[in-house]
């Protein structure tokens, strides 16, 4: 059962417009949410995060919104740039089943293409 879901495998937007990437989760124990960006042949790189006690976090062109009641978060990129084209992973943090560490649960990712 997928606890973190990114239902859109791909998204295409025009340069300068807003990109909105969505993520839903089912586990109410998640207390921290992160977005990672991944280029081909590279590992994911951290982009932005939000604690469950907040509903918005902004960093430059990137804003993450969290709606706890709906168990939904979204990443807004504005204005979108061609260099933003990559796979974006949503991840959620909770204590691992081993009990001694936090662990990340990832969504399947959304491929964002920003067209010039």
Partner 1 sequence: GAVVSQHPSRVICKSGTSVKIECRSLDFQATTMFWYRQFPKQSLMLMATSNEGSKATYEQGVEKDKFLINHASLTLSTLTVTSAHPEDSSFYICSADPGGGAWETQYFGPGTRLLVL
CB of 16 to partner 1, least distance (A): 28
Q: Tell me: does residue 29 bind partner 1 (CB under 8 A).
A: no
Contact 47, 39 (CB under 8 A): no
> CB under 8 A: which stretch of 15-23, 63-71, 73-81, 99-107 binds partner 1?
99-107
Q: Tell me: does residue 4 bind partner 1 (CB under 8 A).
A: yes
Q: Tell me: does residue 9 bind partner 1 (CB under 8 A).
A: yes
Burial class (CB in 10 A: 0-12, 13-18, 19+), 3: middle
Q: Tell me: does residue 56 bind partner 1 (CB under 8 A).
A: no
Tell me, by CB under 8 A, how many residues bind partner 1: 28
CB of 4 to partner 1, least distance (A): 7
């Amino acid at each position: 059962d997928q606890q973190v879901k990114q239902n859109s495998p791909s998204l295409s937007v025009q340069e300068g417009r807003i990109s909105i990437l969505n993520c839903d989760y089912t586990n109410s124990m998640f207390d921290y949410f992160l977005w990672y960006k991944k280029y081909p042949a590279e590992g994911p790189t951290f982009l932005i995060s939000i604690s469950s006690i907040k509903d918005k976090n902004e960093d430059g062109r990137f804003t993450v919104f969290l709606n706890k009641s709906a168990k939904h978060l979204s990443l807004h990129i504005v204005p979108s740039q061609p260099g933003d084209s990559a796979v974006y992973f949503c991840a959620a943090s909770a204590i691992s089943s081993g009990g001694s560490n936090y662990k990340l649960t990832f969504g399947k990712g959304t491929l964002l293409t920003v067209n010039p």
